[in-house]
Structure formats: structure tokens, C-alpha cells
A and B are shown apart, each in its own frame.
Chain A
Amino acid sequence: MTCRKAKKLIPLCAGDDLRPRLGTAVRAHIDACLSCRKELGEYRQDLTRLKTAAKAESVPDWSEGEWRALAARFKPAAPGEKGPAFLAQPRWAAASVLGAFLGLVVLAVLFKGPMGGPERVATAGRTDQAAAVRKQDVVSMTMVSQETGLQIVWFLDKNFEWKGDEN
């Protein structure tokens, strides 16, 4: 390892934050290089001083009033009672479900098949009317004898001309 490469890694070496194999290589170089050893020592000292100064400095704390006010906000509802379970799912899950639903809607619109447009509706209307007229072309009449139970059925066309009977 060269000094140039070692000096790049010294800041991490100072806190023992290199991966084991790289750390071993850097330490091997440092053991043999006075300049890099000196720099590593300085980094370690600076780091220690920063940590010491950070521990010694005063950091803010909660006033009792601030803490009480916050603690009061922990009361209203338990985390498990915050509404439907699906709301507790991660956002990506909700987004996936929504995306899938929208995709299905788009597919349903695209592949719904021929639409019942005005022309088709009109044609269908005419067909129904023709069928209705055809149905009315033939009329049947049934006579049932109350005494014997005999049934006589007459089939007549629209002009009431006899077509046949069955019993």
C-alpha cells in the first residue's frame, strides 16, 4: 500500500471503521511508515478531543412542563387502535393496491368488447319489434271442457285463419 492510499483511509482507521482486510493492510503500512503513523496519531487525538468536548458540553434538556405537555399527547389512542388495519400498512403497499386497481379498470375499459352504440341499439330495437310482430302473426286459442277435461287448441294466423289444432 502506498502512502497516498493509506492517507485516504487514515480518517476511518482512526475510529477502527475500516473493513477487517483493508484495516489490516493499512495497519501494516502504518507500522512501517513514520509519516502515516504520525498522521494517524493526530487523527485519533482530534477524535478523542472532539468526543470528550462533546461529552463535557451542556446539551439542552426538557423542562418538566414541556415533557408533561408531550406525555399528555401519548394518551388519546393506542397505536393499534388507529383505524382500519390497512391504514397501518406501508405506503408502498397501499400504492401497489391502488395501482393494481387502476390497471384493472384500464384493462376492463380497453377489452370490454364492442360497445352498444346508437346504431347497434337501433338495430336491436328493430329486431325486437319484428319479433314482436312475428309473435303476433300466430295466435292460439285453447278450449277446455269442464266435463271431460278435453283440451282443444286452435292456432290462427293474424287474419284468424285456422292453422291446425292439437289436444
Chain B
Amino acid sequence: MADTEALLAAWSERSDGEAAAWARARPGPSLESVATRISRIPQEFLDERISLRALAGDILGGQISASAFDEDPRVRQGAAIGLWLVASEDVLEPLEPALASGWAALAVDALALRVAPVASPSDWTSDDERRTEAARTFLLWCGFLPAGEDAATAASLLAACDSLARNRALAEAFEGHRHRAEIARKLAEARRKEAAARYSSE
């Protein structure tokens, strides 16, 4: 399994920065339509015997950066879900406007290298918030804003469900609590000593 940091580093090399992505984003399909498709991923896409390179070649007609890390199950599944979103336009029906008109390969890489390392793709189909995160990220890097949202709103809502920031905040909170528990223990010790030092003035 590849190192999370290495995957994120590969992503920052691949992408041209979030500011640029927000700048080029234009109104796109609704968030619900993309999120619903994520839940409907066929099992074949998640089968680990399928070669990621072959899948990407078939669907995008080109390669994605995530293929370099296809031994990592997180990257594999993340990329597979992204590829399914692209393929679903042929299998089911095109979204309005079509994802194919955006930067589909970049969006697949975003799911595989940016989201999958910090939020397991198996959660994308079971946890509503993670699914929203995946759908928002996909839309952003594909070059779209969720229907009915402006760039500022969409950016704020993506930031609110970003697993990377969330994990960092959680780690920080955990450190805070651990530190506090440590002091609480010291306090109990100090109180014991204080009680031992009490004396009778009789």
C-alpha cells in the first residue's frame, strides 16, 4: 500500500492548484445526480482482477496518473469509481451538461489520489458525507460547479466535508484531549499529595 503522503504529493504534482480549478469551473450537473451514480457503481468496476490501465484505456481512451499506484487498493477503487462516473454516461444516460465535456481524466485522478488516500472509497457508497465529498471533488476537477451553487458556496461546502482537513482537525483535537487527560492525571496526583500533607493542629 502506497504511503498517503506520497499519493497526496503525486496529486499536487498532477493538479494545477485548487484556485485555478475553482476559477475555470462552470455550472454543471446537480450534486445529487453525481452522488446517486456513485452509489450505483457495478461490482465489476471494483473487482480487483480488472486492470486499472485497461479500464482507463477503454473508458477515457488515454491514461491516468493513478495507474502508477494501481497496487494500492484505495487508489484502484477510487479511480474505478471515477471511471464509472465517466462510463455511466454511456451506460445510463449523459448528465446535463455531460461530464465528458470537462476534464474527466483529471477528475478521476482527483478521486484516486486526493480523496481515496484520506477517505476509504468503500465509505463513499455507504456514508452520505463521504459520498458528497467524492461527488463534489469530482465535479470540481471535472470543471463544474454543482447545479444551483456559485463558486464561493461550492468551495465552502467542499471545505466543510474535506476529509484531509477533517482528519487533521481530529488529530489536533485528539492531541488536545490527550494532553488534557495527562494534566488531569497530574492534578489527581497533586491532590493526593496535598491530602497527604494535611495535618491536625491538635
A and B interact physically: no
